[in-house]
Copies of this chain bind each other. A is one copy, B any other.
Amino acid sequence: MKLHAVIPAGGSGTRLWPASRAARPKFLLPLPGPRSMLQATVDRLLPLVPAENLLVVTGSAHAVAVARQLRELPEENIVVEPVARGSGPAIGLGAALVARRDPDAIMGSFAADHYVVDSSAFRRAVAVAAEAASRDYLVTIGIQPTYAETGYGYIRCGSVMFERDGLSARRVEEFKEKPDHETAERYVQSGDYLWNASMFVWRARALLDAIRDLLPDVYEPLMEIAAWWDTPQRDEVMERLWPGLRDVTIDHGILEQSSRVAVVPATFGWTDLGDWHSLAEVLATVEGENVAVEGAHIAVDTSATLVFGNGRAVATLGVADLVIVDTDDVLLVCHRSRAQDVRQIVQLLKESGDSRLL
């Protein structure tokens, strides 16, 4: 079975400043490297999704960089949004374009800037999700939580629909917003909750039906855009209809509202790499306590320190729990416990009116 897939490539990644910048968002960066997160996402899918079935939806500001990074993709598979309207319209347009080729096609949708440790296990989960999707469910892949993370949404599982290949498909009872720490602890203890990783598999037609029922104001313009797609009028129609679309995520607009949602619980090692600390955590499992990406690290009496380099040598002496990010025009030295607060620096820079470092 050859799957289709759409990868919405947007967002900036403020907490990964100064590597992540307005003009160089997280998905274009080599985190953890050497390939960019977007390239790694494509690499992970290619054994299941041939390049001609893979659509990337990105903003006009990043179209050139995406085209350069994904040379294996046919030109027409890189879809450029005139303005960002959230994952709902982006994935919906992808589904409409897939359905034009094959209404029964099963397609996945995967974020461009998440990290997966075990790609084979990831693909096994996608295959089981595709089987559930063939039964006309909207299927999400949920991650077995390993700790009480408050930065993710959660999914409450229901009864088992079927088991296959050591995995199962279960009904979804409820989506939960990011919880407080106490609630997150309870979720993890119960064993009934999974992290929502925004990974979806469904029939293209099943998603479009759901959009028609749940987001009718989005459905009509999307279908009109798709109808004109392969004509000289594409740009004119896109320009006219796209900016008027409602800005809505696929999670909130569809998954949380639908009654036909299933989930495949999985354990392939996943993180959204939202900040430097989570990157350091992921890399430390592979490389040991000090980690250097793209730079030589001369470490003396140094522990639990991540160097995200720029080709220069970085020497550290008598330090612990630091993140050091070296870029052409700015250097960040941050305690790992404060990784979430990197956006404070970005905010300071915005308020100062100096946009050069943004």
The residues of A with any CB-CB pair to B shorter than 8 Å are: 18, 298, 300-301, 312-319, 322, 324, 326, 328-335, 337-338, 341-342, 344-345, 348-349, 357
Cβ-defined contact, A314 with B298, below 8 A: no
Cβ-defined contact, A334 with B317, below 8 A: yes
Contact A318/B338 with A300-B344, A300-B348, A348-B300 known, Cβ cut-off 8 Å: yes
Contact A342/B329 with A298-B349, A300-B348, A348-B300 known, Cβ cut-off 8 Å: no
Chain B neighbourhood of A329, CB < 8 A: 312-313
Cβ-defined contact, A317 with B342, below 8 A: yes
**Does more than half of chain A's interface fall in helix, strand or loop, or is it mixed?**
strand
Cβ-defined contact, A335 with B318, below 8 A: yes
Chain B neighbourhood of A298, CB < 8 A: 345, 348-349
Chain B residue with the shortest CB-CB distance to A338 = B318
A316 partner, pick from B312, B319, B334, B348, beta carbons under 8 A: B334
Chain B neighbourhood of A357, CB < 8 A: 313
Complex Cα distance, B347 from A298, in Å, reads 12
Q: How far is the CB of A44 from chain B (nearest CB, A)?
A: 32
Complex Cα distance, B316 from A348, in Å, reads 12
Residue among A313, A344, A349 with the most chain B CB within 10 A?
Answer: A313
Cβ-defined contact, B333 with A315, below 8 A: yes
Cβ-defined contact, A333 with B319, below 8 A: yes
Q: Can you list 25 pairs linking A and B with CB atoms under 8 Å apart? A: A18-B315, A298-B349, A300-B345, A300-B348, A301-B338, A301-B341, A312-B328, A312-B329, A313-B330, A313-B331, A314-B330, A314-B331, A314-B332, A314-B333, A315-B331, A315-B334, A317-B333, A317-B335, A318-B334, A318-B337, A319-B322, A319-B333, A326-B331, A331-B331, A333-B333
Contact A341/B300 with A315-B330, A315-B332, A335-B319 known, Cβ cut-off 8 Å: yes
Chain B neighbourhood of A342, CB < 8 A: 317
Cβ-defined contact, A317 with B331, below 8 A: no
Complex Cα distance, B300 from A334, in Å, reads 9
Chain B neighbourhood of A333, CB < 8 A: 314-317, 319, 322, 324, 333
Chain B neighbourhood of A326, CB < 8 A: 331
Chain B neighbourhood of A328, CB < 8 A: 312
Chain B residue with the shortest CB-CB distance to A345 = B315
Chain B residue with the shortest CB-CB distance to A344 = B300
Cβ-defined contact, B334 with A312, below 8 A: no
Not counting A312-B330, A315-B330, a sample of 9 additional A-B residue pairs whose C-beta atoms are within 8 angstroms of each other reads: A18-B315, A312-B329, A313-B329, A313-B330, A315-B332, A317-B344, A318-B334, A319-B335, A331-B331
Residue among A328, A332, A337 with the most chain B CB within 10 A?
Answer: A332
A341 partner, pick from B312, B317, B338, beta carbons under 8 A: B317
Q: How far is the CB of A20 from chain B (nearest CB, A)?
A: 14
Complex Cα distance, B342 from A330, in Å, reads 24
Complex Cα distance, B348 from A329, in Å, reads 28
Chain B neighbourhood of A317, CB < 8 A: 332-335, 338, 341-342, 344-345
The 10 closest A-B pairs by CB, nearest first: A318-B338, A318-B335, A317-B334, A313-B330, A314-B331, A315-B332, A316-B333, A317-B338, A315-B345, A319-B335
Complex Cα distance, B300 from A316, in Å, reads 21
Q: How far is the CB of A355 from chain B (nearest CB, A)?
A: 13
